Amino acid sequence: MPETAWQIQTERERGLPAAADGARRQADEGAEKLEDTVKHDADQTERKQQDPDEGIQHQRQKGERPAHEEQQQPEQELHHAFLYDPETVSDAPYRIWGTNLESTAVDQLKNACQLPIAVAGALMPDAHVGYGLPIGGVLATKDAVIPYAVGVDIACRMKLTVLDLPIRTLATGQDRLARAIERETRFGMGASFQTRRQHEVMDADWRVTAVTARMKDRAWAQLGTSGSGNHFVEFGELTVRDSAAGLAAGRYLALLSHSGSRGTGAQVADRYSKLARAAHPELPKALSHLAWLDLASDAGQEYWAAMELMGRYAAANHALIHAHVARALGAEVQLDIENHHNFAWRERHRLADGTDADVIVHRKGATPAGAGVLGIIPGSMGTPGYVVRGKGVAASLNSASHGAGRRMSRTKAKQTFTWDAAQRFLRDRGVTLLSAGLDEVPMAYKDIDEVMAAQGDLVEPLARFEPRLVKMAPSGEPPED
């Protein structure tokens, strides 16, 4: 097995685990793990937007439940409740990268590929269970968009900038770097700036939907903030191995961030997922998070306009974080790379019947990886991330993983690990942690180099990022990722 993505020589075996292996693994893990998996997903989504300023608390007070908090069916029903009889219905074709993936995540992709609007699917090697489409799931549909296949944190994305500071600043100027992060962004649910940041995105037409019009002032207050959960801002060392990354081979000081559209995006997701579910009462309750909006409908057009606005807003958040941090340090930007990984795109793809068609490609926790396209795939607070170049593999719908992917739930991580063990892990790798929750420690994530090895045919690593100074939301903050 290769030790790092640089040493990949052969491709790992891909595809679904053998049926016997899957049954054996389920028997070994037992019902407790299955229950913990669904509890994690429900906990992560239900707590995601509890900020009363963002309207969801008001729904509870009225006796209503936000769409992402409605009661789930038991895990066994979620696992087996296919839309149609799998023996009599021809699914949209799909392909899976990686091995030993959660069986529930695999079944979620199978369910999605049985939708009448589905034309193709793919599952990335960082996959784990989510609502509707799994995290790491990619789905192409015809003339329809699925709000939960985009995700609650619409336009969650990555941004990396290389600064013209000496690499030694990571060691000798760490206090200065830490002050810049602490001053120039905010972490935590509902985090905002008293003095509002300025960006042209606030001059856009926020009246495209009633939700965005109502949330515009709140969105402006949160502009330039980072949120909570797995969102982060960190400094590190970028080792460029291939000048195709945009810089000559060498070592550089870089700033990396991960966050999305904050509370406004969550409100958009909440509103239009409810409309989608109301439009498709024929779906079993356990599969209702796969409900879609026809793009010819008013609701479909509104959601698409709001999603695209949230894409611009999320990009503005990152742009302001990086610009203000660079200005605070008196640094110039030498390189800028960024990408969404919770979004839907209009793209043209060749279908299984050999025809070319315009489709809607949902990437929920998946990185665009078209031929020559640059992207960022992070690991964790204590493991490397990669700048990659896509290879344009049609079967993956031009996609790759969005990170390492969790190997256990937040609840399980808190029960399993201690801060002493986490800090030892980080010290051994030269990482200083400013703040984070125990559920985000590196040991809760899959091995990023195994994930990279499993998708060696999808992306080519051009540079490797090693985190050195990391800031996340403090412990106790509900996750927004």
Look at 10-19, 116-125, 245-254 and tell me which has the smallest mean pLDDT. 10-19
Mean pLDDT for the chain overall: 85
pLDDT interval class at 91 (50, 70, 90) = confident
pLDDT at residue 253, as a whole number: 98
Q: Which of 57-61, 325-329, 379-383 has the lowest mean pLDDT?
A: 57-61
* pLDDT surpassing 80 at residue 379: yes
In this model, does residue 66 exceed pLDDT 50?
Answer: no
Q: Which residues pair with 472 in a beta bridge?
A: 232
pLDDT over 50 at 80, yes or no: no
Q: Among 87-91, 146-150, 368-372, 443-447, which is the least confidently predicted range?
A: 87-91
Instruction: Using pLDDT thresholds of 50, 70 and 90, give the confidence band for residue 420.
Output: very high
What is the pLDDT at residue 87? 53
pLDDT exceeds 70 at position 290:
yes
Q: What is the mean predicted confidence (pLDDT) over 412-431? A: 96
pLDDT in the model for residue 61:
37
**Beta strands, E only, 365-458:** 366-368, 374-377, 385-390, 399-401, 432-435
- pLDDT at residue 188 is higher than 90: no
| pLDDT number for residue 184 | 95
Place 351 in a pLDDT band, splitting at 50, 70 and 90: confident
Confidence class for position 52, pLDDT limits 50, 70, 90 = very low
Whole-structure pTM value = 0.83
Is 229 a residue whose pLDDT tops 50?
Answer: yes
Q: What is the pLDDT of residue 422?
A: 96
Structure tokens at 325: 């941090």
Share of the chain above pLDDT 70, in %: 80
* pLDDT bracket for residue 10 (50, 70, 90): very low
In the predicted structure, residue 98 carries a pLDDT above the cut 70: yes
Please tell me the predicted confidence (pLDDT) of residue 200.
97
Q: What is the model's pLDDT at position 89?
A: 52
Stretch 311-334: mean pLDDT, rounded? 98
pLDDT at 17 over 70: no
pLDDT at 25 over 60: no
pLDDT at 187: 92
Would you list the domain boundaries of the chain? Answer: 5-472
Give the percent of the chain with pLDDT over 90. Answer: 75
Q: Which comes out higher in pLDDT, residue 95 or 14?
A: 95
Query: How high is the pLDDT of residue 6?
Result: 31
Written out in words, the top-level CATH class of the domain with range 5-472 is alpha beta
Compute the average pLDDT of residues 21-31: 34
Contact present, 405 and 371 (Cβ < 8 Å): no
Transcribe 95-143 into DSSP letters.
Answer: EE-SSS--HHHHHHHHHHHTSTTEEEEEEEEEEE--SSSPEEEEEEESS
Cβ count within 10 A of residue 31: 10
Is it the case that residue 28 has pLDDT exceeding 60? no
Q: Is the pLDDT of residue 2 over 50?
A: no
DSSP annotation of 40 reads H
Report pLDDT for 192.
Answer: 86
Average pLDDT over residues 240-248: 98
